[in-house]
Chains A and B, each alone.
Chain A
């Protein structure tokens, strides 16, 4: 009975017909997307305050990088969940490479999108399996190169059995920051056309973040990207900025333009950061100001 019940649970996310995706960096487009958690798509009674996303529109041309800002709980992560079809919006259309994502095969969609989140899931399995997510198609050289690229060599060299070392709960002393580097390594191996960094470096210390900066640059090179961050330093490399507030866009535009408009929220955010730097009385003020140029 209970097995049958589980078996007969209707799928809410239906696989697409399998429209092909163009090669190379992809366009990303949200058209008037609204979404509420926990409401079946047919039900339209959810009032506006409950909506996680409200009338959200966005256009990102191939290779362009978007910085998504906003307070915690403003809907940033929801955007990425919808893009990956972990949830289905009640209204609106999302397109990837000019194809409605509902027409794509789910496997195709997720194959083309690489995501690094703050929470990294590790498995009680070998380091190799943790990096490749059990995909046997990667060669040893590929994996080792990626480990070096993301700056995990130091940690890797201390492992007793190299790639075959079993990752356990605490035994290997993998710190949360190192786990996040491991997540970067996973995406490097995957080689996606669209990269999403969702608070990807929030657990990295600034010094380490600088170390992998080139790696991240390389990861974003020739790829479309969405970068979610609270830390302003993290969005230095983006072209466009969208600031979310309670599921609505409160500000959007090219980063440099917003930074140069004194009345913009983005400029205000930068200012908050700058003021705090001023108070500290250290010699880094000038460098920080250059962020706005």
Chain B
């Protein structure tokens, strides 16, 4: 998709508003002709070289009036174009965000989150520069055309000379097209790397401190930043160089024209009034020259930014980026619809067959996995690290896109697991749950309406009630960035409570107990099993407390099912299971 193919739908968004702004802009630039014409009249009147119809004071008054009108339009136009620019940027950003939300959860971003932020920020912003240059170009063309018409009628030869530098500049910018793109792309990429790594460092302050790696980290940042600085300087320098060249070509042209005009005046073909008019209009020609330069360069840079934004879309048609949708900049967005509280399809069975997934970089993953979840059953997936346990959960839940296989819910094919396997169908606690720097209550509810849930029950199920009772502010305790003020086990149980609040059909735990002590883990499973109706659970674990309760155990090895069955069956015949089981207690003593 070319840059223009992306720009057109953007310009059509709020098209009438844009037309209005353009009209205003034309009026503004058109009005600047007035003082030029008036000064010619004033000088002609003063020198009496040519006949003038209006009186001197009328001319002066008109001059003042046009200045006031210009200021007024300028003010309104600034307001309007700022709003317009943010509307378009908002459209781009919400389309991007929407697309990220539609991605498989475990693959939402092509790189780090900080890097994605730099695309959201810098690349969307280059649209502003382009729009500005567009307005400038259209209006200066209009302005210069009026000026040209007036000037041609006075002196065609001089007029031609005035506009000659334009052609030179256009050729110059076109010649340097490749470099503009290359420098801009390098700059944006380097900036993205710095932002990305900064984000990671801020997220890992404690790990960096305890490792005593501050100096090395700063050294690494310095290295990335040096690359960024060099790329940025090249990008900016080249741009400034082009602007300076266009500017100087225009100025030199103006100098030549002044000499020519002097000649013409001596010959008596040119009045002082004509001279005043030409001098007044001269900068406009250089304005137009600059505008063309600015526009051409901005368009190239915007092209680079669009390419970078398309990468964030990760394979989705590029038109998605500019799809029209409401942007709420001047009004409140409509309230969010509450999450579906109606259970669409109560679980009887959930069956997955032939699930395949390979990680693109290493070609490791899972192969030909079958899974059968009966209502009220407790299924444990176990295996060594790297055997594909988490991958299996992610593929089932649509957090990773399956390469092959199908999933059926009560016999019906699940077309899009990612949108289906959410509450109330299922809820999931990942291995390292994320908490936000908010009160514990908000972390558990996470947007779920408090009136619709039994929070106390969920907290009890998650064995979190004693912890909360001991917190000075109870449920209102702010947990700190990423939950740093809670212990690892508290974070995991808060995430479990988040899941219980949603009362889903299937509870999916990934290694929930890894940060729980034996007693707490026992209590958590016991409470879950004591519930009026036993919940359906899919659990990744190698802990005995979980394995012992399992109705069915799946042993994974190198991404394939090594064996499956009940604990006793597996301990009787599966060597891998025996090793996993015994390792838990087998000591060196």
- What 5 pairs between A and B have smallest CB-CB spacing? A72-B489, A177-B385, A206-B583, A173-B359, A230-B517
The answer, among B217, B365, B385, B486, for a CB contact under 8 Å with A73, is B486
Dominant SS at the B interface? helix
B586, A169: Cβ atoms under 8 Å? no
B584, A206: Cβ atoms under 8 Å? yes
List the A side residues contacting B520 at CB < 8 Å.
71-72, 230
A170, B384: Cβ atoms under 8 Å? no
List the B side residues contacting A29 at CB < 8 Å.
none
A129, B220: Cβ atoms under 8 Å? yes
The answer, among B197, B210, B362, B580, for a CB contact under 8 Å with A123, is B197
Cβ-based interface call for A248 (8 A)? no
For A151, give the chain B residue with the smallest CB separation.
B385
List the B side residues contacting A272 at CB < 8 Å.
518-519, 522
Cβ-based interface call for B230 (8 A)? no
Cβ-based interface call for B16 (8 A)? no
Q: How far is the CB of A121 from chain B (nearest CB, A)?
A: 4
Cβ-based interface call for B106 (8 A)? yes
Can you list 9 A-B pairs, Cβ within 8 angstroms, ordered by A?
A: A71-B517, A73-B490, A74-B487, A124-B196, A134-B216, A134-B217, A175-B390, A202-B515, A273-B518
Q: Chain A interface: which of B83-91, B170-178, B201-209, B415-423?
A: B201-209
The answer, among A72, A113, A123, for a CB contact under 8 Å with B493, is A72
How many A-B residue pairs have C-beta atoms within 8 angstroms? Tell me.
Answer: 232
Cα A287 to Cα B158 with chains together (Å): 104
Cα A124 to Cα B515 with chains together (Å): 26
B210, A37: Cβ atoms under 8 Å? no
Cα A258 to Cα B587 with chains together (Å): 18
A231, B518: Cβ atoms under 8 Å? yes
List the A side residues contacting B517 at CB < 8 Å.
69-72, 230
Cα A205 to Cα B209 with chains together (Å): 28
A66-111 residues at the B interface, CB under 8 angstroms: 69-74, 76-77, 84, 86, 107, 110-111
List the B side residues contacting A290 at CB < 8 Å.
587, 589
Cα A125 to Cα B365 with chains together (Å): 22
Cβ-based interface call for A58 (8 A)? no
List the A side residues contacting B584 at CB < 8 Å.
206, 231, 233
Cβ-based interface call for B200 (8 A)? yes
Cβ-based interface call for B326 (8 A)? no
A206, B487: Cβ atoms under 8 Å? no
Cβ-based interface call for B57 (8 A)? no
List the B side residues contacting A107 at CB < 8 Å.
212, 214
Cα A129 to Cα B193 with chains together (Å): 15
Known: A124-B197, A213-B588. 13 other contacts (CB 8 A): A72-B517, A113-B210, A118-B515, A132-B216, A158-B363, A173-B361, A173-B391, A178-B386, A199-B515, A205-B580, A207-B579, A233-B583, A236-B588
B359, A172: Cβ atoms under 8 Å? yes
Q: How far is the CB of B521 from chain A (nearest CB, A)?
A: 8
For B212, give the chain A residue with the smallest CB separation.
A110
Q: How far is the CB of B436 from chain A (nearest CB, A)?
A: 16
Cβ-based interface call for B125 (8 A)? no
